[in-house]
Chains A and B, each alone.
Chain A
Amino acid sequence: MNGKTLTKADIVDYIYEKTERNRAEVKVLVDHLLELMKDSIKRDNSLLVSGFGKFESYDKKARKGRNPQTNASIMLPPRKVVVFRLSRKFRAELNPDEVL
């Protein structure tokens, strides 16, 4: 692991270099794409990107929790969480020597 982090600005630069649009337009479109992705995860409970992976949302039940500072017991409300499941193809690319 090295210390580099890819940010949204880096993705915008990359797309900008490879398309005919100006940078500001690319930025707006990337933001819109992310909104579409969020809507899809919410509406369909999943977004499948072939060769990359699948974002899935599922329900967590309400559960009892505790405030670690005061020890007060509280009820945590039910909520949705998102998990990312890696595509097999992408997994193989990340682990070229792995035998499955």
Chain B
Amino acid sequence: MNRSELIKSFAERFNTPDYEASAFVNLFFERIRQALIDGDRVEIRGFGSFSVRDYAPYTGRNPKTGAVATVGPKRLPFFKAGRRLKAHLNG
């Protein structure tokens, strides 16, 4: 499923017009996105949590060519599935 399908099923299930469902779903992800950009943790009980991890720069190699490559520092969110999400998938 992608974003527009999610919006569509949200609209159908809760009998809301598409434009409202779309605004709702977009606001939901926008708020999470903004928190992660600010470096905050996000915790959604039952679904999961995101934490932002900082990765130090390192010197790696291109495994195909063997050429040395420097990999710069980066910040990446890490998602940890919540207990209920895990149970839902395995239930």
Q: Give the contacting residue for A1; candidates B9, B52, B79; CB below 8 A.
A: B52
Chain B residues near A38: list those with CB within 8 A.
47, 84-85, 88-89
A4 at interface by CB-CB < 8 Å: yes
In the assembled complex, the Cα of A17 lies from the Cα of B84 at a distance in Å of 28
Also in contact, A84 and B79, with CB within 8 A (given A7-B44, A40-B6): yes
B65 at interface by CB-CB < 8 Å: no
Q: CB-nearest residue of chain B relative to A39?
A: B88
B3 touching A15, Cβ below 8 Å: no
Q: How large is the interface on A (under 10, 10 to 19, 20 to 34, 35 or more residues)?
A: 35 or more
Chain A residues near B85: list those with CB within 8 A.
38, 41, 82
In the assembled complex, the Cα of A95 lies from the Cα of B36 at a distance in Å of 11
Also in contact, A91 and B47, with CB within 8 A (given A1-B54, A4-B41): no
A19 touching B41, Cβ below 8 Å: no
Q: CB-nearest residue of chain B relative to A11?
A: B31
| 30 A-B residue pairings within 8 Å (CB atoms) | A1-B39, A1-B52, A2-B40, A5-B41, A5-B43, A8-B44, A11-B32, A19-B24, A19-B27, A30-B28, A33-B6, A33-B28, A36-B13, A37-B47, A38-B84, A38-B85, A40-B6, A44-B1, A46-B1, A52-B32, A55-B79, A57-B89, A79-B90, A81-B86, A82-B85, A93-B33, A94-B77, A97-B72, A98-B72, A99-B72
The interface of chain A, by Cβ under 8 A from chain B, is 1-2, 4-8, 10-11, 14-15, 18-19, 29-30, 32-34, 36-38, 40-44, 46-53, 55, 57, 79-84, 86, 90-91, 93-95, 97-99
